[in-house]
Structure 1
């Protein structure tokens, strides 16, 4: 069993159902919309120490031996990858949101000491079907986009991630989870808005950007992916999520 240290992040109250409003990207839409939990459904877990921030988001290979993944003591959301870090804040490996969801689920099942609970959901006119995989306060949202359309429409980049992630509690199964600055679900909005990278001037269809990465679409068009935080009615951070796209507007 992992030993963790209580941190300053506030507990999220109550267990509520997580509902995902999926990414919007159809012909004629002005901008894509990222999946959005309608309510936090944290597990009332105590807040362990925050992951040590500061490492690069440059992807590194997923380690093969389970022993390497068992070194993971924190998760950090970045615009293009999920960083798995050790107790000193060093990146053990990264999981790209464009990689196969099954590979990420296998790695995280080692990190979290067991498989997730999984729930399928149906697609809509604006979003694909998918599967929500949950370990405590961590959700991996597997997106089942039409792969032929991905190729035909040149959508093989972060606007159509193969999975997205949500932190709706400070920790999942005793693994602390945060943005690169250390923002966690349950933190005060005052704390979050004071962190470097928090940018309420950038528009996203949901949430506020806190960590932005310049990227290019397959056709060379400039784009920006970001990690977002959402404010709760109580003035705290409801959840941390990635990836979300900076947009000009939403359908």
Structure 2
């Protein structure tokens, strides 16, 4: 296994030839995903529990070397989920904050990495696939009883997070992080 590839519905594990050798669905078991990643990366992550907030449920951030984060979401603690896990209300999300972790590439299907300049990405970015923190490079459309259909994708953030600020931090001209799944929307609340 040489690469972790963020996709809209799952984190894929690829071999050196680009073949998918494993797939960890965001609506699947977070315990199984963590066990698989611990095996692939040769050790467990650090764990940082966090409280529920205005727009998020409580959870635990599982972090490998400040490069790969798996956000385990605890619904019912500030934010409720109706029914089973879906791509829109997953059991976990992933964040890439570096180009690789423990010798494994962190990348999107389109070959986008953290640090890539937005102006060099060309048509890999669809300006209609906007997220609250940047753009999405790939998406899926799923039925939604409230709006008919909702889009979820792989997000490219244009914001460097500042833990001391009360907002995203600083807007940048490069991919500050990659995350999935993210909501593709025309506006944020």
User: TM-score, normalising length from structure 2?
Assistant: 0.84
Q: What residue in structure 2 maps to residue 191 of structure 1?
A: 120
The alignment of Structure 1 onto Structure 2 pairs a total of residues equal to 176
Matches for 1:3-22 after TM superposition, within 5 Å: none
Taking structure 1 as reference, are residues 120 and 191 closer, same or farther at Cα in structure 2, changes over 3 Å only? same
Instruction: Report the Cα distance in structure 1 between the residues aligned to 2:85 and 2:185, rounded to whole angstroms.
Output: 17
Instruction: Report the Cα distance in structure 1 between the residues aligned to 2:128 and 2:18, rounded to whole angstroms.
Output: 30
The structure in which a higher percent of residues are strand is 2
Pair 1:146 & 2:76 matched: yes
Instruction: Report the Cα distance in structure 1 between the residues aligned to 2:148 and 2:188, rounded to whole angstroms.
Output: 18
The answer to whether the 8 A contact 2:133-2:158 is kept is no
Pair 1:221 & 2:148 matched: yes
Which deviates more from structure 2 when the two are superposed, residues 77-86 or residues 121-130? 121-130
Q: What residue in structure 2 maps to residue 240 of structure 1?
A: 178
The runs of 5 or more residues in structure 1 that have no matched partner are 1-71
User: 1:238 deviation in Å?
Assistant: 0.6
Partner of 2:37: helix, strand, or coil? helix
Q: Tell me which structure has the larger Cα radius of gyration.
A: 1
The runs of 5 or more residues in structure 2 that have no matched partner are 160-170
Q: What residue in structure 2 maps to residue 206 of structure 1?
A: 133
Q: CA RMSD in A?
A: 2.2
Q: What residue in structure 2 maps to residue 6 of structure 1?
A: none
Q: Which 4+ residue blocks in structure 1 deviate beyond 6 angstroms?
A: none
Pair 1:165 & 2:94 matched: yes
Partner of 2:52: helix, strand, or coil? coil
